[in-house]
Chain A
Amino acid sequence: MTHSLHRRGTRENLAKDYVMLCLPAVGINDKDHDPKLQEFLKICMKHNPLNIGAIHLGNMYSHKAEDVIKAAHGIVHAVYGKPETVTAVLNDLKKADLGMSVVVSGIFENVDQALAGAGLKHHTANFSLGIWGNTEKLPSNEILEIATMCGHALIPTNLVKEMIKDVKAGRKTPDAAAKQLAPNCACGIFNPARAAELLAAAAKK
């Protein structure tokens, strides 16, 4: 599942949005892989992630971080706001040599720089060619920028609209509104810090 692809945004607001995934290859290196994914998350936690997630349980806004780590299985995720942090995490991962595949999602040039900082080179890319078909059905771009941070579409359009309304009316801070959205994303790839900035911008319109 390419759940961390198609994150909609501008160069400017995507510059603070990096998702890291870690997973085994089924049938090749997946035997007893849980402890390796737990180790990945523990390494991630050392670098103050904006979110972490284990899909069978949830993320650090729906559950306690230590419970998310315990639930690591299949695929795990972490989110950061700076390429330098990605470099630092990758350096630690290199040292740990878990043998699991790692994918980084973000602006290509920024990610490549982050990789270079850890002495790594990109191997395979997944490009987003955008949204095709009956695009009239789509909500506005400002909603999409927030909702597409959950690749499984678990952040409903109408809920994002409610949060924008609440922020506009002063009932919630952008941060509180982002944190109300965050628990819905089962994988934990939703970036509440970026969401708060986007909600604040949308509320100003």
Chain B
Amino acid sequence: MRIDPDVCIACEACVPYCPVEAIKMDDEKGVAVINQDECVDCCVCLNSKVCPVDCIIFEPQPWPRSLRVTFSNPRTGHKETRIAGRGTEEMKTNDVTGRFKRGWIGLGLEFGRPGIGTRFRDLEKMAMALAKLGVHFEPQNPVTFLMVDTKTGKLKDEVLNEKVLSAIIECAFPIEKLKDVLNTMKKVAKEIDTVFSVDCICKADPDGSYPVKKILAEAGITPYVNGKQNVGLGRPKAKEE
């Protein structure tokens, strides 16, 4: 994104609209300026229509910068997955896709969320650490598409410095691996610059209980009191194992 310096009236109305504080007032130029390196092309400033003189401009950028808008502006879709937003259907359609079976855990690590932003190099650290544990990266996920090799979790070099509002590593693994995965996450969490929100997906057992809760309790992790549940209205139902 950029601000047209010939038109900007330095009213500062746009400044609070940047989620990553990339808009600052430039004393030399007397106008607002967007820091190109920090800007994630989310277009919140533009879409808010707060600029009284319409001087905020978005121009599509070449690869790899083109990643920024795809990941940061949920109104744009990912070409690869045909999904708008940052990721996949994950568990939302599990009643139909059966993606997450009993005995497996789905994990989503949303780097940069909430509202901090992330560069792909932080995702790579985590992806490579998890790959060592043999997790299965979700093929339909846009970050997986950026991997050079899903066995190692290494991302393409040219994307490492690109900054986005958030990006998600999605993977799945047998529930027995959960403790090791959690420990690896704790370790890598100390090495990264940003934050990440953790999603933990579990299909309910026939009696309605979620087997993952016990393991989380043993690991000393208390999930939020609120979360998401698929209510089983989708058709055709996935085959039950």
Contact = CB atoms under 8 A, between A and B. Distances in A.
Interface of A: 1-9, 11, 14, 17, 21, 23-26, 28-29, 55-56, 74-75, 90, 93-94, 97-108, 111-112, 115, 120-135, 137-139, 144, 147-148, 151-159, 161-162, 183-184, 186-187
A128 B198 contact: yes
Given A24-B93, A128-B227, A154-B42, 11 more contacts: A7-B226, A75-B85, A103-B230, A105-B229, A107-B226, A120-B233, A125-B201, A127-B200, A134-B193, A137-B195, A157-B115
A71 to B, nearest CB: 11
A101 B197 contact: no
A187 B73 CA distance: 11
B195 A131 contact: yes
Contact of B203 (A56, A124, A134): A124
B119 to A, nearest CB: 13
Nearest to B75: A186
Contact of B196 (A97, A122, A131): A131
Interface stretch (B10-18, B62-70, B128-136): B10-18
B228 interface: yes
Interface residues of B, number: 78
Contacts of A187: 74, 85
Given A23-B93, A137-B194, A125 B232 contact: no
Nearest to A100: B234
Interface in B180-199: 185-186, 189, 192-199
Interface of B: 15-19, 21, 42, 44, 47-48, 74-75, 77, 81-97, 100, 106, 108, 110, 112-116, 165-166, 168, 185-186, 189, 192-204, 208, 210, 212-213, 216, 221, 223-236
| Top 4 closest pairs, chain A to chain B, by CB | A101-B234, A1-B85, A129-B198, A158-B16
B235 A99 contact: yes
Contacts of A183: 48
Contacts of B92: 21, 23, 75, 101, 103
A29 B235 contact: yes
15 contacts: A5-B227, A6-B197, A25-B234, A29-B235, A99-B233, A101-B94, A102-B234, A123-B204, A125-B91, A128-B197, A133-B196, A135-B195, A138-B195, A153-B115, A154-B74
Contact of A133 (B83, B94, B195): B195
Contact of A105 (B192, B216, B228): B228
Contacts of B186: 132
A102 B230 contact: yes
A127 B96 contact: no
Contact of A29 (B18, B96, B116): B96
